[in-house]
């Protein structure tokens, strides 16, 4: 049996006050953090969409409460890998998050887009 993993990192480092205010939900979603505001997931999240929505809300609050120092965006970078060398068990995704929008892109999406271009679809 193969084991699959999904570690991820979140950028930027968020203010500790925002992390503390959202710590229960972050923990439920599998997020760990350091005292400097660095957030990461050692083995992914059960609900990526909910995590993105929470990060979006935290980003919006940061921009409202500290507009001079707040980041205008955040992103998640995730890797998918397996402890056995199997086709289609590796990849990842990125989510680019602003207070108003989120764009996702996965390695599978990239590969399919390139195949479609090559085959003229």
Say if residues 32 and 41 touch (Cβ distance below 8 Å). yes
Domain that residue 94 falls in: 4-119
pTM of the model: 0.87
Per residue in 35-92, pLDDT (tens digit) is 999 999 999 888 999 999 999 999 999 999 999 999 999 999 999 998 888 887 889 9
Rounded to 10 degrees, the C-alpha dihedral 96/73/75/26 comes to -120
Q: How many domains does the chain have?
A: 1
């Amino acid at each position: 049996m193969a084991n699959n993993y999904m570690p991820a990192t979140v950028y930027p480092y968020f203010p500790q006050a925002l992390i503390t205010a959202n710590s229960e939900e972050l923990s439920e979603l599998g997020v760990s953090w350091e005292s400097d505001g660095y957030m990461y997931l050692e083995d992914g999240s059960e609900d990526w969409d909910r995590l993105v929505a929470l990060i979006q809300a935290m980003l919006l609050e940061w921009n409202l409460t500290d507009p001079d120092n707040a980041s205008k965006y955040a992103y998640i970078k995730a890797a998918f890998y397996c402890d056995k060398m199997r086709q289609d068990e590796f990849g990842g995704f990125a989510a680019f998050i602003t207070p108003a929008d989120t764009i996702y892109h996965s390695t599978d999406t990239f590969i399919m887009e390139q195949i479609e271009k090559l085959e003229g679809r």
